[in-house]
Structure 1
C-alpha cells in the first residue's frame, strides 16, 4: 500500500474498490471503509463482477464482465480527461508520458466501453466524476484485479488513474493493494521473488550481487529464478528435479491441479515443511514439521508496510522446530554452514543489507511498529509513499490497450467461471477447515449461479451440479443467487474435495508477473440427474 490502513477510516473522502471483496477477505479494512462511508459521508465506488456486500452502500456499483478491468478504467479516465477533471498541475510537474497515454484512452468513451464491460455508460461517468472530484480519493484492489493474464496491465491502469487525478503522496489517497495473507508483504520484502534480493534489489545488477556475495561469502548467479507456476511447468517437463515447498499447498492453490499432480510426481525429490500434512505434503518424500505463528519469534510486515514484532505465545509442540532452524540445518548439511542464535540476529543481518529496513531495530518496534522505508535509526518511518517524488523521479503513465482474457465463452463452454475466497476459510483451508466453528459455517464448496441461468438448466437451489472446463470437472452444490450475472458462475478454492483449481487455466500467464488466469475460465454447468 502506498498509504496507511487508518486513512481509509478517516482521511479518504472517496474510496474506489475494484477486484476486492473487502468485507470477506479483509474484514477489518472493510469495517473501516464502512465506518467512513456511514459516519463521515465518504463516497464509495465498487467495481466487481459479483454484487459484494459493500456494493449495497456504494454511491456507484459497476458490475462488469470478468476480465474487462482495463476497458472499465480507461473509460473512467476518458471521462476525466474530456470533462477537464484531471489534476493538470500534478500531471505537468510530477509525471511523464501523458500524451501517449491520453492518445490511447481517447477512444474509450463510456459508450465504447459499456458493451465491452456490461456497465451502463452513465455509471462509468458517475464513478469517474466522484473519484476525480474528491478532495482525497483512494484506490484499493486485491486478487480480483491481479489474478488475470492481464493482471499487470490492470494494476498499471489503477496507477494511471491515481496519477491523472493527483491522488498520490497525500493522506487518504494512493494505490493500495490489500495483501491476501498476513506476511505476503514481508516475504516479498525479504526477496521471496525470483528476480530480487531483499528490498527489491535486482539480482541482475552486479553491485547488488557483490554486496550480498560479500555478506554471505559465496558467488551468486545473476540469472532470474522461477515463479511457482514456472517451476511446476519445469517439473512437469523433467527439467526441475527437486523442490522444497515451505508453507504452501500447490496441490490445492495452483491452477490446473491435474497438471500440478503430474509435475510433483515427476520430481526426483519433494520436501515439504508445514504445520499439517497438507495435500502437497502427502506426496512428499520428506516432511519437516514447522511451527505455527503462535510458536514463533520474529517480525511480520503487513499490507501497509508496517513491520511488527511477533512474540512466542506457546512452546513448540511435539517434534516441530522453528522454520529458520530447519533451514539452517538443511543448509549446513548441504555444505553451506548457516547458524543463527535467534530471529533478532537474522533481523540484524537483514537491516544491514536492506536499505528500507536499515533504521528498524527490535527496540524501535516496541509498540505499534514502523512503516518502511525507514533508512536510519532516527527516521520515523514512512506511512505515505511518494510525497514529494517517485522512486524513479517522475511518475510514468502507461498507454494500455484492453485485451480480452485468454479464454472466452463459446458454444461448448458458454459461461464465465470465476473463483475466490470465503469469509470463513483461509487459502487452502489447511488451518481453517480444522476449526470446528468456521467449518460449521461453510463445511463444503458451492457454485454460485444466477437463478435465471439455473432455471434454464433445471437446477434447483441446493442441488448437486457439475462444473466443467477444458481442464476437468468438479461436483458441488448449487447456490442460487443474484449477486452474479446470468453468464457468470463463481466458486471458492478452499476445498480439496471439490477443488476449483481443477478447472482454472495454467496455460496462459501474465507476461510480466507470471500470474495465472484464476478469474476467467470458459465453463459449462450441468445438472446431475
Structure 2
C-alpha cells in the first residue's frame, strides 16, 4: 500500500495523532511533495521538493468569495524544487503515460471542460476582468455575484438548491465525571494550520500554545494565568500553559493546532467524522485538566 501526499502534513493535522501515526506506519511506500521537510515528510521514503505556488508557479487561485484570479510566476524555484504540475507530469511519463506539455493554462482548460461552473473562465477573460466569480457558464457570462442568484428568477432555471433536514446528533466524545470539560480547537489570525508555513516568520500577534479557559473554570480548578497543566482526553495527554479568556463560557476551553512540535493538540482530538461532510470532530473533545505537582506548589506559595 502506497501513499502520495502533496502539500499536506497529515501526521500532525489529522485528529487523533496516535491513530494517524499508526496508519502512516502501515504504508509500504510514502511519497511527500512539499515545500518543507514536515513531520510527515520525515516518515517518507521519497521527498519531492515543490515550488511555492504563490510566487514560483503559473496558474490560478480561488478566494473565499469564489473569485478566480491568475497567478504568475515571479521567481524560479530554488535548487531542485519543481512546480507541482511538472512533477506530476514527469511521474506520469516515467510510468508510461505521456500527458504532453505540463502547462498551467492547458491544465486549466481541461478543468474548464469538466466543470460547467468554470467553463467561461479562459485565461484571457481572467486577465481582462481581473478575475471572475464562479459560476461562469460560458465566455459571455460575467460570473455570478451571488452563488444562488438564479433562485430569484421566475421560473427557476435548473434544479432548485437542495436543503437537507438533519436531527441534532450530540458529540461522539461525551462528557462525564472523568472528562467533564469540552475542548474545541481552531485557528488564530497570525498562524496557519500546523505552523509549517507560518512558524518561519515572526508576528507581533503570535504567542505560544495555551489552554484558553473561562475565569469561572480557572477559579473552580484553582488555576492561574501561565500555569502549566496537563490536559487529558480519552486518547492522549499534553502539557500546556493556561490562558484565562473572559469570552469563554464555563465548561468550554480552546486550543489551536498551530504549534504541534511544542504541544501536539491533536493527540487529544477524536477521529469521529460527520456523516454528511466527512469532517473530523475537531470541535468537540472531552477532556479533564490536571494540575502538575510543581505548578501546585507555585500556586500555593
Measure, in 2, the Cα distance between the counterparts of 1:379 and 1:395.
Answer: 21
> 1:298-334: CA deviations, max 9, x gaps?
0011222211000112221111000000001111212
The answer to whether the 8 Å contact 2:85/2:102 transfers is no
With 442-451 and 324-333 compared, the bigger mean Cα shift is at: 442-451
The answer to whether the 8 Å contact 2:134/2:147 transfers is no
> 2:234 maps to what in 1?
470
Alignment partner of 1:442 out of 206, 226, 231? 206
> 1:272 maps to what in 2?
32
> 2:299 maps to what in 1?
none
How far has the Cα of 1:395 moved from its partner? 4.1
Task: Give 1 or 2: higher helix fraction.
Answer: 1
User: Which secondary structure state, in structure 2, belongs to the residue aligned with residue 244 of structure 1?
Assistant: strand
> 1:235-285: CA deviations, max 9, x gaps?
xxxxxx110010001111100001101111111001100000011111111
2:264 pairs with 1:499? yes
2:247 pairs with 1:483? yes
How far has the Cα of 1:378 moved from its partner? 1.6
User: Where does 1:418-429 land on structure 2 (aligned, <5 Å)?
Assistant: 418-429=184-195
The answer to whether the 8 Å contact 1:340/1:346 transfers is no
> 2:94 maps to what in 1?
333
The answer to whether the 8 Å contact 2:230/2:237 transfers is yes
How far has the Cα of 1:339 moved from its partner? 2.7
The answer to whether the 8 Å contact 2:3/2:31 transfers is yes
Structure 1 residue runs without a partner (length 5+): 1-240
User: Where does 1:193-342 land on structure 2 (aligned, <5 Å)?
Assistant: 241-292=1-52, 293-342=54-103
How far has the Cα of 1:523 moved from its partner? 0.4
Across the aligned residues of Structure 1 and Structure 2, the Cα RMSD in angstroms comes to 1.6
Structure 2 residue runs without a partner (length 5+): 294-301
* Structure 1 runs of 4+ with >6 Å offset: none
> 1:179-212: CA deviations, max 9, x gaps?
xxxxxxxxxxxxxxxxxxxxxxxxxxxxxxxxxx
> 1:376 maps to what in 2?
138
> 1:434-464: CA deviations, max 9, x gaps?
11x22x6424211101122122222210011
How far has the Cα of 1:503 moved from its partner? 0.6
Measure, in 2, the Cα distance between the counterparts of 1:262 and 1:382.
Answer: 45
2:150 pairs with 1:388? yes
> 1:85 maps to what in 2?
none
Identify if the C-alpha distance between structure 1 residues 397 and 346 changes in structure 2 by more than 3 Å, giving closer, same or farther.
closer
Measure, in 1, the Cα distance between the counterparts of 2:157 and 2:253.
Answer: 41
> 1:76-110: CA deviations, max 9, x gaps?
xxxxxxxxxxxxxxxxxxxxxxxxxxxxxxxxxxx
Q: Give the TM-score taking structure 2 as reference length.
A: 0.90
> 1:409 maps to what in 2?
175
Measure, in 2, the Cα distance between the counterparts of 1:318 and 1:373.
Answer: 39
2:110 pairs with 1:345? no
Measure, in 2, the Cα distance between the counterparts of 1:318 and 1:391.
Answer: 52
Identify if the C-alpha distance between structure 1 residues 519 and 337 changes in structure 2 by more than 3 Å, giving closer, same or farther.
same
Alignment partner of 1:520 out of 271, 284, 289? 284
User: Which secondary structure state, in structure 2, belongs to the residue aligned with residue 478 of structure 1?
Assistant: strand
